[in-house]
Amino acid sequence: MIPPMPAILLTVNGLPNEPDEISVLWTFVLNGNPAQIGVSAEYAHRALKLIEIHSEFVLNVPVASMVGPFDKVDMNSSKVGDKFALSGLTRGKATRVNAPTIEESPIHLECRVFNRIELPPGRVVFFADVIATNVLAGACDIHGRLIVPAVPFFGMTAGSGEFYTVGQRLGQIGQSVGRTDIRY
């Protein structure tokens, strides 16, 4: 019963002679300043082991045109094959961490793990610093704010698994006290 929220593609290096990994993991904001983010990985998924080993990953924010490849990533295990090949997504390279990126994503958050907790019955939650953020030209303004209408973002309903685009702008933080300068 949670309305659409970002469903983000995580990329992490593989092991020698094994493909790099793309996985959809639930993500959540921990802090705005410094930028810190959390991801939750199931024991059953390859991404968990790879995050443990490498400690660095990239969160690639998908857009509507990527819904097809997004679902292929979700429905195919990397035990079957290279998810970049299976999905047709293009592998890039992060600028500040040692991890692959997805070039079709307009936003890359380059992350480094600083803590983890076990989450019974079957998950590990990782806490990570956002070391670098790379945004496609046109997706944010000169003040570093996202131009949401310019980019066809989408989210997924938690509990029913449906994809929806983001709706219309309703307002901003601080509007009740006449402020436009607040940024979390």
Ligand X SMILES: Cc1cc2nc3c(=O)[nH]c(=O)nc-3n(C[C@H](O)[C@H](O)[C@H](O)COP(=O)(O)O)c2cc1C
Contacts (CB under 6 A) with ligand X, residues 88-107: none
User: Considering beta carbons, is residue 69 or 92 the nearer one to ligand X?
Assistant: 69
Tokens of 116: 């983890």
Contact 61, 133 (CB under 8 A): no
User: Considering beta carbons, is residue 70 or 140 the nearer one to ligand X?
Assistant: 70
SS3 at position 155: strand
Helix, strand, coil percentages for the chain (3-state, nearest 5): 15, 40, 40
What span, in angstroms and rounded, lies between the C-alpha atoms of 6 and 25? 10
- Residue 20 binds to ligand X (criterion: CB under 6 A): no
What span, in angstroms and rounded, lies between the C-alpha atoms of 101 and 109? 9
- Residue 25 binds to ligand X (criterion: CB under 6 A): yes
- Residue 58 binds to ligand X (criterion: CB under 6 A): no
- Give the total of residues touching ligand X (CB under 6 A): 17
- Residue 11 binds to ligand X (criterion: CB under 6 A): no
- Residue 73 binds to ligand X (criterion: CB under 6 A): yes
Per CB under 6 A, residues contacting ligand X are 7, 23-26, 40-42, 45-47, 73-74, 77-79, 156
